[in-house]
Structure 1
């Protein structure tokens, strides 16, 4: 009996499925079963050139001829198609990255609202008339789309993180070439096909799949790419920023984090426990905004740790498609190995293992790691300073507000933070002094298409979501119109 052929995903370029120039394909694996379930095109610089050319033609042609209101109506149609196809897209993404099916379905359904939000914003970018100190002139601003945008996204939430960039870019009038992670490309190719169904001109959105050095670098260095939107690690983000700077391209970079989740002695401890668990163990800790450093005020340190470990005592690991599963597998084998190496580093540094710390070879293909908590951690330890990107929480004691601020800010990252307290004065002090792009008070991981998201320091540049984000994809032009035709002679002094 012959083995059935695996689903094969080509590039999506100029409104059509296009095979790779190399003729080569990469396997895409299920993190739970370990089995290869499909193939994606292995792109190279030739494929990138084809996609950028298509995007540039669309930008200079039919896409630029649409009014902002017409662009908005197309984005609204796309949102409706996302809603109609959410379960199917989520199933494909979940099969690629191993996240809980319930979480992925909710994410994909919610991403439709991102496109609806920017559909409404497309025709509301208003220019200003500028009062100047010059007589006889009329000055005003206008906003113009930058051009072709490169969007490079990781494997943990490919559709959502792409939408954060793509929705405002399209609303601004840009076109796009998307390079998803080689581990999670299938859902992106399926998603791209919806643009044709929505009636977008061909070439407005393109997808080239493959490896970072073969596709990502060619995309970032292409002379017709005007802006790069990237989500991923700080090392890759720094390299993209350096390459982009050589040709003065603009960037938005949403990078790593090592976010402090700070619990004071006056907090509602039962609520804080749930917030801490959500902050680090949701998505198996594979989230840039994960609250991976738990700062506990000394007076409640031991009591809170007991509550936390009790809460985690019966957590269920297993098949991410099972709605009763609470923790799924690690998305990729390299990430699994990285997390296990950090657990060993923590032990060597002298951190005390409270729970977890083991892999689970008995589950699925063995790509599971138990939720892990380390206590007796100093903030200068590697396990407290470096992003693990997995279900590993470190617990650090603190004395008072100033001590919490010092420890919370003593890090190279600044993506997010949370404060748990019932004291309004304390809450306001902490939100002011913590250096992070998002600070939650008595909650964790709340995000919205209406609110800006991004980081300080090595956590990135620029913001995603919210009304101001559309300007990341726009040039500002100032126009001066003379209302006095008597141009002064520049060689005559007055």
Structure 2
């Protein structure tokens, strides 16, 4: 696949013109470290132009006042085109993000289409409310689109997560300015093109590119943005929130995690091992829902550790273009180095290295890290408190159930949690006592789009989900109508001295 030499944004239904004076960022293939293109950075003026275009599009009513059936048709048509271009989109995602092709084929690209189809269905069954309890009056409650949204998509799963933001926002008639990661812009731009081919009016989605300190800061601080949805790290979220606070712009954050994966001694052992490997090594460990803290009960700990480490050492690490690859590279070089720094810190703090713990230089100049397993005796190690976002996991042994729940909650994050047990009582205790937005029992990574998704504590603000998206991306309006002529007090009528009328 050949990319343009310079990748630019997308405003008003067309690619932004190349500006020789604009800053440029190199985009690399993580599997080899080779540069595949340059990305043109959008400055404040360029971001303002994109926001103004989104505002003009919203005010035109071409999308904001379009019939529900028209929005449904665009979403379903876009989903169809995404499926038809799945191979191309998957290759783009693989070349920019380094995601293994096998993972893309089975999860990421289909999910982008699923997100659009789901919201197409949902807006078809939404209803307002009518109240008639107040005699002589009818009160109707309706929703209208909030306006222009700023969407910040992450680099670890560009298609899947950007499509959720787009679907959640556009379904209710909003327009948007989308900023993908400067490391992974290509597949998102292609998805926007496919949506416009499906009939999305130009200017409904506008894409700006660049780093967070320039492009992101300009977008987050724009006074013409009505909503901000951000997926990424908590430190960046704080800066986005500070910028949004100046305009009192509502924010929705889906942030990081340091999630516990509890394995009780009555668990289906093989299922627990299989699920625990999937929970941490999927997407090369670069997922916010990673089960990166394994807590295993002492009675099965020795057997579990031996089996898990053996399987981790057997994982096929390599070129993400190879369908046999199970673990690919880190998405970009600075993140690769950050993961290695976490590993070095864990060693210095006394964690016991069981396997991995090093870069895989035998695979060339790509950003590869060997699947890494540590055993720890304390949950206070940095490895257990900081999000590594790579193929690195800690294993800690516990004795009593309450100890496991306490360890699970000993984190500033609270995104998800995992539990493996054949006991209904234990699974219910897990549900009641672990503070996380999504809990999985005896399964890895399943998701029903009707259910809310989001985190406790520093894992986010708000929830993804259809009802939650409707509440965030719309303004609710109550209209009270008098059914018949009603008596109204005649203020200022000097001919009438009865002030009660």
- Common fold by TM > 0.5: yes
SS at match of 1:244: helix
Match in the other structure for 1:280: 280
Match in the other structure for 2:116: 115
Note the 1:15-54 alignment, pairs <5 A.
15-19=13-17, 22-54=21-53
Over aligned residues, Cα RMSD in angstroms? 1.7
Shift of 1:383: 0.9
Shift of 1:467: 4.3
Structure 1 residue 13 corresponds to structure 2 residue 14: no
Note the 1:231-242 alignment, pairs <5 A.
231-242=231-242
Counterpart CA distance in 1 for 2:3 and 2:441 is 51
SS at match of 1:37: strand
Match in the other structure for 1:270: 270
Shift of 1:93: 1.3
Q: Is the 8 A contact 2:295 2:398 kept in 1?
A: yes
1:151-172, Cα deviation, whole Å (9 max, x unpaired): 1011111111111111021111
Q: Is the 8 A contact 2:313 2:356 kept in 1?
A: no
1:273-293, Cα deviation, whole Å (9 max, x unpaired): 111100111111100000000
Counterpart CA distance in 2 for 1:131 and 1:239 is 46
SS at match of 1:66: coil
Unaligned runs of 5+ in 1: none
Match in the other structure for 1:361: 361
Counterpart CA distance in 1 for 2:405 and 2:155 is 32
Change beyond 3 A, Cα 1:377–1:44? farther
Q: Is the 8 A contact 1:226 1:249 kept in 2?
A: yes
SS at match of 1:209: coil
Counterpart CA distance in 1 for 2:468 and 2:123 is 12
Q: TM-score, normalised by structure 1?
A: 0.96
Q: Is the 8 A contact 1:297 1:397 kept in 2?
A: yes
Counterpart CA distance in 1 for 2:291 and 2:171 is 32
Change beyond 3 A, Cα 1:200–1:376? closer
Change beyond 3 A, Cα 1:49–1:151? same
SS at match of 1:362: helix
Q: Is the 8 A contact 1:20 1:47 kept in 2?
A: no
1:51-99, Cα deviation, whole Å (9 max, x unpaired): 1111111111111231122111111111111111111011011100111
**Structure 1 residues 351-360 or 483-492, which shifts more?**
483-492
Structure 1 residue 325 corresponds to structure 2 residue 325: yes
1:191-234, Cα deviation, whole Å (9 max, x unpaired): 22112211111100111111111111111111111111111001
Counterpart CA distance in 2 for 1:14 and 1:122 is 25
Q: Is the 8 A contact 2:83 2:110 kept in 1?
A: yes
Structure 1 residue 485 corresponds to structure 2 residue 486: yes
Shift of 1:174: 0.5
How many residue pairs were aligned?
A: 490
Match in the other structure for 2:136: 136
Counterpart CA distance in 2 for 1:147 and 1:258 is 34
Note the 1:53-92 alignment, pairs <5 A.
53-61=52-60, 62-92=62-92
Match in the other structure for 1:309: 309
1:94-147, Cα deviation, whole Å (9 max, x unpaired): 100111011123311221011011112223321111355x54322121101001
Change beyond 3 A, Cα 1:5–1:311? closer
Q: Is the 8 A contact 1:195 1:205 kept in 2?
A: no
Note the 1:34-433 alignment, pairs <5 A.
34-61=33-60, 62-106=62-106, 107-132=108-133, 134-433=134-433
1:454-479, Cα deviation, whole Å (9 max, x unpaired): 11110001111344423221111111
SS at match of 1:43: coil
